[in-house]
Amino acid sequence: MELFALLCSAVIFVLEIGVALGSNNIYKDIFQNYAKELIPTWNVPTPLKLSINAAPSTIVSFTELEEKLTMTMSITVNWTDHRLTWNPTLYNNTHVLTIPPHDIWLPYLYLANSVNDVKPIGQEADFYVILVTNGMVYWTPGGVFEAQCASDVSKFPFDTQFCSFIFTMWGILPGEVEYDVYSKVPDLKYFFANSDWTVIDTYQNGSLIGGDSSAFVVGISIKRKPVYYVVTVILPTLLFCLMNPLIFCLPVESGERISLGMTILLAYAIFLTIVAASIPAKSDPLCIVLLVLVCIMMVSGVIVILTIISAYYYYMEDISHANPCLRNLTLRFKQKQNFRDKLNLEENKDTNSNSFSDSSFSGKDLSKTLDIIFCVISFVLFIGILSAYFLYILIA
Ligand SMILES: *[C@@H]1O[C@H](CO)[C@@H](O)[C@H](O)[C@H]1NC(C)=O
Ligand SMILES: *[C@@H]1O[C@H](CO)[C@@H](O)[C@H](O)[C@H]1NC(C)=O
Ligand SMILES: *[C@@H]1O[C@H](CO)[C@@H](O)[C@H](O)[C@H]1NC(C)=O
């Protein structure tokens, strides 16, 4: 009995080996006389047709400073290698095989506009290859790609960036490979939304670069989600712009005017630092928000100077040297005020409307007139600058 059991297990063992050999045989049969160093079309004059499709999955980051878009993406390539065909009936109707990539010719695609080391994609991991009985080979390598793309930050933080990933094969003669895209747009089935950027447009096509070498190009347009910069930069700037001219409404005696003016000036400097830190230092179209902040800062600086001028008049004792225009204007303001007072107090007859002269007002009145003028001018300036900025954002 024991002998019989031993015999049985031996037979089963031999059978198992046979099955294993059977599935091994197809691999050996297919790859005998196969030279993986040779391109499938090495002996025919027609170009190798590569069907190709990109499937972006995430936007890792876009760095304006380095002008670099980092994206994870997989690329499905399929081609026909006539050397790799078999008869399925001889192999228990096996139509599809999944094999490791080491033994087969693969297209070495490079990212031409990479900011990193230039190395063929799909080499750092074993992306398995699917083989179909008629010689069709499907290969889907993927990775993190970092492409250089010029950034246009003129509309920051409402900007849209465009970036293209140019994949090409090096070391082959021009015209030896043809790219044929599955569709005009990449496959976004596996795409995960990014919290900073919205994808607004994508395309892919096979095109010529540098005149004669063909390349596979994936283009992507992304739009920044501006909420962060609106909340941290634009809204506070608006608030300070409204607040800044109100300095002229503070009483001169309080002594708070200059310090408030300086505080606001410093706040602008901080916003300028925040914005300047997140955009490229050297950008051909200048970032308009930077320009706007610099203009606002200049107006704010001028406001501090005007505050000092106003204070100077406020404490002026002898106003006969003051600017005659300013004295005239002050006189006019005073007359108007007196006229109003007279309307209010009809019985107050002792006011002589013709008795106004330089002596009837002081430096304080001059300073008050200046305050009104400066306040209005700075308001108009701020509103002008801001509305010009928003018009530019909306129209351009
Ligand atoms: C690639 O695969 C697609 C779909 O399976 C097929 O239509 C196309 O002809 C293949 N391309 C090549 C070059 O074999
Ligand atoms: C052949 O395939 C059939 C199912 O299609 C399976 O039941 C059978 O075990 C296979 N034979 C071998 C030798 O692998
Ligand atoms: C590829 O698509 C882009 C955008 O649609 C287009 O500008 C470009 O001309 C196309 N290239 C080719 C070779 O079709």
- Ligand 1 centroid to residue 264 C-alpha, Å: 64
Ligand 3 pocket test, pick from 168, 181, 203 with the greatest ligand atom count within 8 Å of Cβ, gives 203
Q: Name the pLDDT band for 2 (thresholds 50, 70, 90).
A: low
Q: Name the pLDDT band for 324 (thresholds 50, 70, 90).
A: confident
| Model confidence pTM above 0.85 | no
Q: Per mean pLDDT, which range of 65-74, 93-102, 159-168, 206-215 is the poorest? A: 206-215
Same domain, 169 and 282: no
Q: State percent of the chain over pLDDT 70.
A: 89
**Residue 347, pLDDT score:** 52
Give the closest residue (by CA) to ligand 2 atom 2. Answer: 92
Same domain, 70 and 211: yes
CB 132 less than 6 A from any atom of ligand 1: no
> 152 or 51: which carries more pLDDT confidence?
51
Closest atom of ligand 3 relative to the 208 alpha carbon: 13
The CA–CA distances, whole Å, from 130 to 57, 91, 242, 300, 395 equal 22, 17, 66, 67, 51
- Calculate the average pLDDT of the chain: 86
Q: Look-up: residue for tokens 């505080």?
A: 263
Distance (Å, whole) CA 299 – CA 252? 20
Task: Copy the structure tokens of residue 148.
Answer: 């250089």
Q: Look-up: residue for tokens 């005017």?
A: 257
Distance (Å, whole) CA 106 – CA 129? 9
Same domain, 243 and 179: no
**Residue 118, pLDDT score:** 86
CA angle 365, 371, 375 (to 5 degrees): 155
**Residue 194, pLDDT score:** 92
Neighbours of 39 (CB within 10 A): 16
CB 89 less than 6 A from any atom of ligand 2: no
**Residue 136, pLDDT score:** 96
Average pLDDT over residues 270-298: 83
Assess whether pLDDT exceeds 60 at residue 376. Answer: yes
Q: Please say whether the beta carbons of 126 and 58 come within 8 A.
A: no
Give the closest residue (by CA) to ligand 2 atom 8. Answer: 92
**Residue 104, pLDDT score:** 94
Assess whether pLDDT exceeds 70 at residue 12. Answer: no
Ligand nearest to the CA of 139: 1
Assess whether pLDDT exceeds 60 at residue 14. Answer: no
Domain-ending residue, one of 178, 209, 225: 225
Most confident of the ranges 3-7, 122-126, 273-277: 122-126
List the domain range (segments joined by +) for residue 320: 228-395
**Residue 217, pLDDT score:** 95
Same domain, 204 and 273: no
**Residue 15, pLDDT score:** 44
Assess whether pLDDT exceeds 90 at residue 346. Answer: no
**Domains in the chain, number:** 2
CA dihedral 279, 280, 282, 284 (to 10 degrees): -70
Give alpha helix (H) positions in the chain. 2-31, 227-229, 235-243, 257-277, 288-314, 324-344, 363-395
Assess whether pLDDT exceeds 80 at residue 361. Answer: no
Q: Name the pLDDT band for 330 (thresholds 50, 70, 90).
A: confident
7 inside domain: no
Q: State percent of the chain over pLDDT 90.
A: 57
Q: Name the pLDDT band for 282 (thresholds 50, 70, 90).
A: low
CA angle 186, 189, 193 (to 5 degrees): 95
Ligand 3 pocket test, pick from 207, 209, 214 with the greatest ligand atom count within 8 Å of Cβ, gives 207
Closest atom of ligand 3 relative to the 205 alpha carbon: 1
Domain-ending residue, one of 179, 197, 225: 225
Assess whether pLDDT exceeds 70 at residue 23. Answer: no
33: left (phi over 0), alpha (psi -120 to 50) or beta: left
Same domain, 284 and 330: yes
- Ligand 1 centroid to residue 78 C-alpha, Å: 6
Distance (Å, whole) CA 333 – CA 317? 20
Closest atom of ligand 3 relative to the 217 alpha carbon: 1
Same domain, 320 and 214: no
Same domain, 221 and 232: no
For residue range 149-204, list pLDDT tens digits in order.
988 888 888 999 999 999 999 888 888 999 999 999 999 999 999 999 999 999 99
Domain-ending residue, one of 225, 240, 256: 225
